[in-house]
């Protein structure tokens, strides 16, 4: 029977969930992950709904396995229970939860395969646990505010803020302005900027742009 436990820190901004595979799946890495995938997706969906739109989640997966090999020096079997962590992934859209978890598992599996295949002689005994780490962070606030550039950036003379209030599309106007390479009135949105808007597809961009 599989088991799920959790803990949190920093007022819930950092959460960890530990999943122990059941007896039937723990002997195979891919099978254990296949059983764990829907559990992880449900956890992330639930946590995603709890946070405001101004925040997002970063995801990391760790896999703990039991390994064993024969030591000729000690004349006995040696056991080890290492963790194999993934990279940290940002969850950009709820629809991408499944693909993000699979990417995280792929990096865990790659690290595991490199360890086992590097001539170490270790053999998999069983998958002990999956550890899902969720970290909440505040999104960069986009928008077309007319705040002045910080002094350190103004001195570089390589950045400008366009005086635009059109549908929060200052990011798109900034791209157009960079392509035009204007010498005068660089901070002003002109007729040519608006004429060029139709040449840029905004199908996969929502405004204001955030990161």
55, part of any domain: yes
The domain boundary residue, chosen from 89, 113, 138:
138
Q: How many domains, in total, are found in the chain?
A: 2
207, part of any domain: no
Same domain flag for 52 and 26: yes
146, part of any domain: no
Same domain flag for 185 and 82: no
206, part of any domain: no
Read off the tokens for 11: 């007022």
- Give me the pLDDT at residue 109, please: 92
182: closest CA among 171, 172, 195, 193?
193
**Helices and strands, counts by H and E, the chain:** 5, 7
> Contact, 160 vs 198, CB < 8 A?
no
- Give me the pLDDT at residue 42, please: 92
Average pLDDT, 10 consecutive residues per value, the chain (211 residues): 65 85 91 93 89 82 92 86 91 82 93 81 91 83 60 73 66 77 71 75 68 53
Global pTM reads: 0.63
The domain boundary residue, chosen from 138, 160, 191:
138
- Give me the pLDDT at residue 12, please: 65
CA-to-CA distance for 56 and 43, rounded, in angstroms?
A: 14
- Give me the pLDDT at residue 84, please: 94
Helix orientation angle between 97-117 and 29-50, rounded to the nearest 10 degrees: 140
183 secondary structure, DSSP code: S
Same domain flag for 155 and 128: no
Q: Residue 114 belongs to what domain range?
A: 3-138
Same domain flag for 102 and 159: no
Q: How far is CA 52 from CA 42, 58, 133, 143, in A?
A: 18, 14, 19, 18
The domain boundary residue, chosen from 104, 138, 172:
138
Same domain flag for 107 and 40: yes
Look at the chain and count its residues: 211
Query: What CATH number does residue 22 fall under?
Result: 3.30.1490
Tens digit of each residue's pLDDT (9 = 90 or more) over 140-165: 655 555 566 677 777 776 776 676 65
Q: Which helix (H) or strand (E) element contains residue 124? A: strand 123-138
Same domain flag for 66 and 163: no
């Amino acid at each position: 029977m599989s088991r799920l436990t959790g803990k949190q820190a920093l007022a819930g901004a950092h959460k960890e969930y530990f999943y122990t595979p059941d007896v039937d799946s723990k002997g195979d890495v891919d099978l254990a992950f296949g059983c764990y995938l829907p559990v992880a997706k449900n956890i992330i969906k639930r946590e995603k709904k709890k946070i405001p739109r101004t925040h997002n989640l970063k995801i990391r997966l760790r896999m703990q396995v039991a390994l064993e090999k024969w030591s000729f020096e000690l004349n006995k079997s040696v056991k080890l229970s290492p963790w194999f962590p993934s990279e940290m992934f940002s969850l950009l859209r709820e629809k991408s939860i499944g693909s993000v978890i699979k990417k995280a598992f792929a990096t865990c599996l790659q690290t595991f395969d490199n360890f086992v295949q590097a001539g170490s002689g270790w053999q998999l005994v069983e998958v002990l646990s999956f550890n899902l780490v969720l970290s909440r962070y505040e999104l960069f606030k986009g928008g077309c505010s007319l705040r002045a550039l910080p002094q350190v950036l103004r001195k570089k003379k390589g950045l400008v803020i366009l005086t635009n209030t059109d549908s929060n599309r200052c990011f798109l106007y900034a791209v157009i302005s960079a392509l035009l390479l204007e010498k005068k009135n660089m901070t002003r949105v002109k007729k040519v900027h608006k004429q060029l808007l139709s040449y840029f597809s905004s199908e996969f961009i929502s405004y204001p742009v955030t990161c």
